[in-house]
Chain A
Amino acid sequence: MLTLAILLPLIASLALALGPGFGERVARVIALVASALSLLALVVVWLGFDTGAGAPAFQAVAEFAWIPALGVAWRVGVDGMALAVALMSALLFVGSIAWPADYKGKARQYYAWFLFLQGVSLGLFLALDLLLFYVFFDLSLVGMYFLIGRWGHGDAEYAALKFFIYTLAGSLAMLLAILALVLANDTLTFDMRALIAAQPLRGTDLKASLVLFGLLLGFAIKTPLVPFHTWLPLAHVEAPGPASAILAGVLLKMGTYGIVRIPFSMMRETFAAYALPLAILALVSILWGAIVALGQTSLKRRIAYTSVNHMGYTVLGIAAAGAALGAESARTLALTGAVTEMVAHGLITGSLFLMAGSFWQRAQTYEMSAFGGLARTAPKLTAAFFLAAFASLGLPALAGFVAEFQIFAGTFAVYPWLAAVALIGIVVTAALFLSMAQKLFMGRAAVPTRDFPDFSRTEAAVVAGLLVLVVLIGIYPSWLLTLIETGSAFLPGAGGVR
């Protein structure tokens, strides 16, 4: 079933790429159906997912031989974290594909690349083989590179290339580290389960430290953590709205997901030794991301920098969970919070970037000073934007709070000072989100916004779909938290939480 979720969009992508006869409408329908079926396949897995106490570490596992000599195989399977992040990603893909876009006359190719990106992104979250993980990691760069470069605006080619080179450099560091990690194991295998069980590298000798740094460097660039984040605002500003939503909602998660899946799970001792520096880096990202975001005048750059802030919370939670300090229940809480933040950030920032795309489509600018008083003509957009902004600044009863509160509560028991200082971020995000929303929607109407139309029916439906989940998670998150806490990363002794 998981294989199906990966292959369906890839096959449809191939069909779109090779079938020259498809018109815009047909291409759109094919893309939507394939994307939705892929989501459906994941929902089927979710329905059969066992969250009970004795549940196995990974479920829905499938394995096909690929390169037996190297211990590489097509291995897919999910624990709760992977399933939660994959479900969110698939949903965001459906929404982004449905979102009205400027195809620049190439609808078929646009949808083909989107489906390709969906297939490889889901592949990354579902893979249980390190080499497969790496392949999907790099292929996702390729998909995003073309989406930004061909359908972006402004200096899109430079932005796409910078994004590509920067993250590729990170992924090469990661590849070397992965190879060293695998080679350090007694038996040659890329099977994640085996590597988690074996813990091939321990301690803080030079080799283990280098491998950890390589992995963390690759993931820190992708996440991104300060100071490796400067590709992000550029890529976001030039990317079309739906691609931005995927970049923030799905691709950034690959960094944090990767940290939990590989260094956190496979090198627990080494990770614990370096947890404090990582947590400090996360704290710097939280504060720097928020402060720099407040200084932006472009609405898309402002939202982009808040991703640095939010992913900083996620990494802070992961670092606290991986430290060998404090009570176990607190560290479990921090990790649950970090994974919840991945889901919440995907839904919230995904919908914010989709809405930012609507601004470009209607006015061809992201400068906040060009807008004002939009609530007059676009009340639905106003309501949705405010709701998403409140969610993003961590208002209770919305998803972001559930995530961030758990991260704070869990981290405080491990690194009290870091958690206390990180709290300052939520005041700055409140200031930057609400001042932005006020500038756009309230006060006097600015000139280019006089005939700014409200949501179309498609836009309203997509944003409503995402935000309903944000509210649901905010009020009653127990179904999500139970799912997340099932499986490998949370098994005592099998993950970082002991």
Chain B
Amino acid sequence: MLFLLILPPILAALAVPFAVSNTSGGARGRLLGVALVGLAGTLAFAFIAAVNGWAGMLVWARPIVLTAALTPISAAMAMLVPLIALPILAYATFHEEEEGLARLVAFLLLFVAGMELLVIAADLLTLLIGWELVGACSYLLIGHEWREEENPASGLYAFLVTRLGDLGLFVAAIATFAATGSFSYAALGGIPAPLAADVAFGLILSAAAKSGQVPFSPWLFRAMAGPTSVSALLHAATMVAAGAYILIQLEPFLASVPGASVTILGLGLATALAGGMVAVLQIHAKKLLAASTSAHFGLMFVAIGAGFPGVAFLHLAAHAAFKALLFLGAGIAGSRAGTYSLDRMSFGRVLPWTAVLVAVGALSLAGLPPLGGGWTKEGIVTAGEHVDLWIAAGVIAAGALSAAYAARFALSAFDASSPEEEKDEGYRPGRIELAALAVLAVLVVVTSLLWLPLVRNAVASWLNVELPEAKLVTFVLSTLAVLFGGIAGAVVARRHPGLGREGDARGAANWLGLPALIDRLVTRPAIGLAKAAAAVDDWVIDAMVRAIGKGGRQAGRLWSSLADVSVDSVVAGLAAATSRVASLGGGVGERLLNGLADGTALMVGQSGRDARRIQTGLSHHYYALAVAAGAVAILFLLSVS
């Protein structure tokens, strides 16, 4: 029953071709309608399912059973995904280029369906199915503008990096099956020690790849080749969110495996700091946001590793709202500027509404109270404090970096310094696009209610999670760090708008040189190996076969005269025997046999003619050799027995 949850977006995707078939205009509006119906359907279904406690089961063949169920967190996630996707899809139908728009909308809807499948999964196989479908959809979406070769190439890069991570999920699933005979989440607790580590670290590997943690982070940059709405959906509520989501879901199991929590925490903190630095140095608006996605998922990993999955989930929700908003805003600025270079923007005067809405998202990204992103980041600081003060210090530093790049992004893109006369020229967002931004800004404001203890406690008890209480000292320190970071970001935006365009900063801005390292250590060796293997296959393995064949021909020549004689005599003997059989039979039998013989002769004759046409004159040598070899083998076998 619960599996029906993924049907509305799939049906909507299938309906897309019909929505654009009559090209009388208004296709964008009809696409919008189809997308909204599909997503609202899933949203409503998720709500009803959560209220009624629905579950799902689909038997392939026992022991392979796909299952779905809703925990409080997965129910919330199942509603969050379509909620964030709604404004993004609306924006897509009116913002993106006409060419291929129907395909874009259909794949975006399928993307949401795949994500919903992995959200409701209650076993590792179902999770894996949704997980890989989401990856395939992102491949198709990143390469959406396929006429430029680089776009599908970027899609492939993203797909391969994340699929490499998917191997971890494969290992986790099959190891769980080997240990328990099932794939169910519920069985995870019963896995004995060595296999439990396989499962846990497999999960961590695939989550890290999906969520763009080091060293997998560069794929998020390549993913920027897709249209803005794709980036927004991919970074906010689907794909990237999947990694953190599954660790949140399975945190109790992961915490029980020695070393797992520490690994998650370490990966997350490293990514949060490295991603923060990369983002500050980035001059490309979308890549700045992409690096910040890695960094913020790093913060979620810290919370999970520290044992507070509830905080991580709330940060995921807050991040989804503000990151989607910022991407859509970056798309509008990019359309106006014709580039994503931050130093070519400053559209505060010409795009005032966009600027105001983006400011809401940027303040939340910076983690400034009283916005939602501020509370959830404070939660992560406190969670880190539970483990070690140094962890809290690291998170505070990551928060300062976050404030810095948020300030740089917002002030560079939307500061009001640009001259007024440009006002009536160039691209301006339409009503639907602005409405999409406004909806997301409202969602950001809604997440800000977490500052109210009443709301916070209600959410905690609804999600059935524990939220840490912040200490005043840490809070003050952390807020001071945010202010300091914000000022630093403003200085960059005003004084050094071209930071990251050239020199060392440019190299560092490209994920600290990680892509070049991956290229040198993985990509190029792999392709070189493939080329070398292909050559070996042709010139060594097949050459041996050819040599054997050559030797066989020579040996065959020796045998052929002898063999020809013996084969001839066998054939003659067979013919004689056949005629004797024929003469034995009488009446009907004789006629039947004759008919068969004639037919066979005709067939043989035809084959013979065919064979002669392509005969190289050597095959009887092979036969002779084969017969000889066979005779030797038979003798050998007989002597053995």
Contact = CB atoms under 8 A, between A and B. Distances in A.
Nearest to A477: B60
A442 interface: yes
Interface string B292-321: 000000000000000000000000000000
Contact of B170 (A179, A227, A423, A478): A423
Contact of B133 (A395, A423, A443, A481): A395
Given A18-B602, A291-B530, A427 B174 contact: no
Contact of B136 (A17, A227, A395, A412): A395
A442 B538 CA distance: 30
Interface string A478-497: 10011001000000000000
Nearest to B543: A230
A353 interface: no
Given A17-B603, A176-B633, A423-B171, A230 B537 contact: yes
Contacts, number: 189
A443 B139 contact: no
Contact of A427 (B63, B163, B531, B637): B163
B484 interface: no
A172 B167 contact: no
A231 B545 CA distance: 9
Interface string A392-407: 0001110001100110
Interface string B136-165: 100100010011110011001001100110
B610 A481 contact: no
B160 A430 contact: yes
Interface string B112-153: 000000000000010011101100100100010011110011
Given A184-B641, A333-B64, A485-B61, A419 B174 contact: yes
Contacts of A281: none
Interface size range of chain A in the complex: 35 or more
Interface in A212-233: 226-227, 230-231
A206 B463 CA distance: 66
Contacts of B630: 172, 175-176
A142 interface: yes
Given A18-B602, A207-B640, A431-B160, A482 B132 contact: no
Interface size range of chain B in the complex: 35 or more
Contacts of B580: none
Contacts of B529: 291
A295 B532 contact: yes
B61 A481 contact: yes
Nearest to B637: A180
Contacts of A183: 641
A14 interface: yes
A409 B173 contact: yes
A157 B617 CA distance: 12
Nearest to B164: A427
B173 A396 contact: no
A323 to B, nearest CB: 14
Contacts of B607: 142, 146
A395 B178 contact: no
Contacts of B549: 162, 165
B322 interface: no
Contacts of B526: 294, 428, 431
Contacts of A482: 61
Given A166-B545, A176-B630, A292-B533, A150 B610 contact: yes
B95 to A, nearest CB: 23
A164 B607 CA distance: 15
A146 B152 contact: no
A283 interface: no
Nearest to B538: A230
B518 interface: no
Nearest to A404: B170
Interface in A120-146: 142, 146
A208 to B, nearest CB: 10
Given A14-B599, A430-B160, A161 B63 contact: no
Interface in A224-257: 226-227, 230-231
Interface string B525-564: 0110111111101100110110001000000000000000
A427 B129 contact: no
A165 B622 contact: yes
Nearest to A301: B534
Contact of A291 (B130, B533, B602): B533
> Dominant SS at the B interface?
helix
A444 interface: yes
Contacts of A230: 537-538, 541-542, 545
A295 to B, nearest CB: 3
A471 interface: no
B626 interface: yes
A443 B149 contact: yes
Nearest to B529: A291
B431 interface: no
A420 interface: yes
Nearest to B523: A431
Contact of B60 (A109, A402, A408, A441): A402
A426 B177 contact: no
A17 B532 CA distance: 46
B417 interface: no
B527 A409 contact: no
A179 B633 CA distance: 12
B147 A443 contact: yes
A481 B526 CA distance: 36
Contacts of B535: 295
A412 B533 contact: no
A412 B146 contact: no
A146 B419 CA distance: 78
Nearest to B182: A329
B537 A292 contact: yes
B178 A416 contact: yes
B178 A330 contact: yes
Contacts of A162: 549
Contacts of B599: 14, 18
Contact of A157 (B148, B537, B616): B616
Contact of B167 (A150, A423, A435): A423
A111 interface: no
B606 interface: yes
A173 B531 CA distance: 34
A96 B96 CA distance: 42
B175 interface: yes
A490 B61 CA distance: 14
Interface string A165-199: 11011001101100110011000000000000000
Contact of A329 (B58, B63, B132, B174): B63
B143 A146 contact: no
B472 interface: no
Nearest to B630: A172
B637 A442 contact: no
Nearest to A439: B149
A204 interface: no
Contacts of B129: 396-397, 401
B136 A390 contact: yes
Interface in B596-624: 599, 602-603, 606-607, 610-611, 613-614, 616, 618-619, 622
A309 interface: no
7 contacts: A161-B614, A168-B626, A172-B626, A329-B181, A423-B167, A443-B147, A476-B60
Given A169-B626, A406-B64, 12 more contacts: A142-B607, A156-B614, A157-B614, A158-B616, A161-B614, A292-B530, A326-B178, A327-B178, A413-B178, A423-B171, A426-B163, A444-B149
Interface of A: 14, 17-18, 109, 142, 146, 149-150, 156-158, 160-162, 164-166, 168-169, 172-173, 175-176, 179-180, 183-184, 206-207, 210, 226-227, 230-231, 288, 291-296, 326-327, 329-330, 333, 336, 373, 375, 390, 395-397, 401-402, 405-406, 408-409, 412-413, 416, 419-420, 423-424, 426-428, 430-431, 434-435, 438, 441-444, 476-478, 481-482, 485
Of all A-B residue pairs in the complex, the 5 with the closest CB atoms, nearest first, are A295-B534, A443-B149, A481-B61, A295-B530, A294-B530
